[in-house]
Every structure is written in structure tokens, then in C-alpha cells.
Amino acid sequence: MLGIEDKYVWLAYVLCIASALLCVVYSLLMRNRGQDKVQQQDIKWTAEEKKVEKEL
């Protein structure tokens, strides 16, 4: 097959292509997921950060 006589080398090529395809499928499935929900401590941190920036 394509000049590759060793089955383990052929298997390595097939697994590389399969893993690349799996990465593409995974990214297509996960691309529209929302971000994590905003925590209350994140809101407090942002407010504190804006306050510090205004003081500077």
C-alpha cells in the first residue's frame, strides 16, 4: 500500500490522520459553546480593577 511495507508504519500514518480528523470534528462541535458563567467574585474584581485604573 503506497510503498509502505511495514504495517506499523502504515498504522502510524492512519492514526495521525484519524487524530487530525478527530480534532477538527471536536472543534466544530465545541465552537458555539458559551463561555463559563460569570461569578460574583469576577464582578467584584472587575469593579475593583476599574477603580484602581481611574485612580491612576
- Residue 8 has a pLDDT of 93
Distance CA 36, CA 31 (A): 14
10 versus 36: the higher-pLDDT residue is 10
Q: What is the pLDDT of residues 15-54, one digit of tens each?
A: 999 999 999 999 998 887 777 777 888 888 999 999 888 8
- Residue 15 has a pLDDT of 97
pLDDT band at 4 (very low <50, low <70, confident <90, very high): confident
Nearest residue to 53 (alpha-carbon basis) of 15, 45, 38, 19: 45
Mean pLDDT of 2-12: 87
